[in-house]
Amino acid sequence: MELLQGRIRDYAWGSRSAIAELQGRPVPSDGPEAELWLGAHPGAPATVDRDGTPVSLTDLLVAEPAHWLGERLVGRFGTRLPFLLKVLAADAPLSLQAHPDPEQARAGYAADAERVNYVDPYHKPELLVALSPFEALCGFRDPAASAAALAAFGVPALEPVVAALRAGPTGLREAVRLLLSWPATERAGLVAEMLAAEVAGPDALLARGLAVHYPADPGVLVALLLNHVQLERGEAIWMPAGNLHAYLRGTGVEIMAASDNVLRGGLTPKRVDVEELLRVLRFEVLHEPVVAPVPVAPGVVTWPVPVDDFALHEVTVEAGTAAVRLALPGPRVVLCCAGKLAIDDGVGTVTLGPGQAAVGTASGGALVIGGEGEAYVATCGR
């Protein structure tokens, strides 16, 4: 194992305390810190020290693919790390978005010469595990509940949207299309009329909270078509391809396929492409968006996902207990979130404190994690 230096992304919605506190730095930070990237994605690759010089993990993989990735992964994914591990810290809502499936990503990338929607030919399923209470929108809820929520505001202009939702799942596409295609000159008035209604309850609170940030965005209404979830620490949400979602507030560990293909529909100043988003969305109800951890060994839990790009395990080592041994396929990225841990893969040993990370190659053996604390271990899946 070797120490891995991650890269912080300073998106405007980021927290000025969460990542700094995790790493033991002064709070508040100089600016927003939204994500800590721990991987080899070319957008912000982590680095490994080589004789006092930071070397991109991306470059190391390309130079020695068999050593770092192993022949099986090179044959499956090429000379790239197929997953990206992040710490995500949101103080404001992220955009309503979805990601393509593998076939859509390949076709979109081939057709998108200007790279406005598709910047790589890969899919981007995601799993987020809460480190703190975490609020998110994830997948479509029962359309009947959405119809009731919108009808309660008593806005006549929304009647076609309500009618579409009352048709059940078959009307979801039309309801989303109507809202996201709302005439630009009428959007602020629509949101204002909705918020002026004397309506109480969680849906009204959600809409009002989003409208503080985006008072002229129909995404405020689309949000009411989604599951509004409140995660406790250790709970997760799984976001497969075509799943409309948005993070609202909180800190979590996120693992995803290493792609940056994001199709946005609202709640953002960034580019929105309604037509392409509608093409990739899956208009189906997500009945249970929250994923509970599954114990796999003493002190070890995971959140099973139906992809082979990644797997995530949380390891907890109690004081005075034996080290935890994990026979997981390499390469591995380990993030310490609490305590002090020694990580040994038979090739090298590193000691990690909160907010520190390490990386090991495919040529390493089983991970042995000792000391006292908590860590997340990212690997490839099946």
Question: What's the pLDDT band for 130 if we cut at 50, 70, 90?
Answer: very high
pLDDT (tens digit per residue) in 272-322: 999 999 999 999 999 988 999 999 999 999 999 999 999 999 999 999 899
Q: Which residues pair with 8 in a beta bridge?
A: 36
**Runs of H (alpha helix) within the chain:** 18-23, 57-63, 65-68, 71-77, 102-111, 143-151, 159-166, 172-180, 187-196, 202-213, 219-222, 274-280
Domain ranges of the chain: 2-136+229-267, 139-225, 295-379
What length is written for the chain? 382
Give the pLDDT of residue 381. 85
Return binding residues for Zn(2+).
97, 99, 126, 245
Whether cis (ω within 30° of 0) applies to the bond prior to 28 is: yes
CATH of domain 295-379: 2.60.120.10
Return binding residues.
97, 99, 126, 245
pLDDT (tens digit per residue) in 114-126: 999 999 999 999 9
**Runs of H (alpha helix) within 214-333:** 219-222, 274-280
Task: Say whether pLDDT at 143 is over 90.
Answer: yes
Q: What share of the chain is helix, strand, coil (3-state, %, to 5)?
A: 25, 35, 40
Token pair recorded at residue 34: 């939204």
pLDDT (tens digit per residue) in 42-100: 999 999 999 999 999 999 999 999 999 999 999 999 999 999 999 999 999 999 999 99
Give the integer Cα–Cα distance in Å for 180 and 164.
14
Active site residue 141: no
| Fold matches, 2-136+229-267 and 295-379 | yes
Q: Indicate the class that CATH gives domain 2-136+229-267.
A: mainly beta
Give the integer Cα–Cα distance in Å for 102 and 125.
10
pLDDT (tens digit per residue) in 229-270: 999 999 999 999 999 999 999 999 999 999 999 999 999 999
pLDDT (tens digit per residue) in 147-174: 999 999 999 999 999 999 999 999 999 9
Give the pLDDT of residue 203. 96
Task: Say whether pLDDT at 330 is over 90.
Answer: no
The whole-model pTM stands at: 0.95
- Marked catalytic residue, from 264, 279, 332, 382: 264
Give the integer Cα–Cα distance in Å for 89 and 132.
10
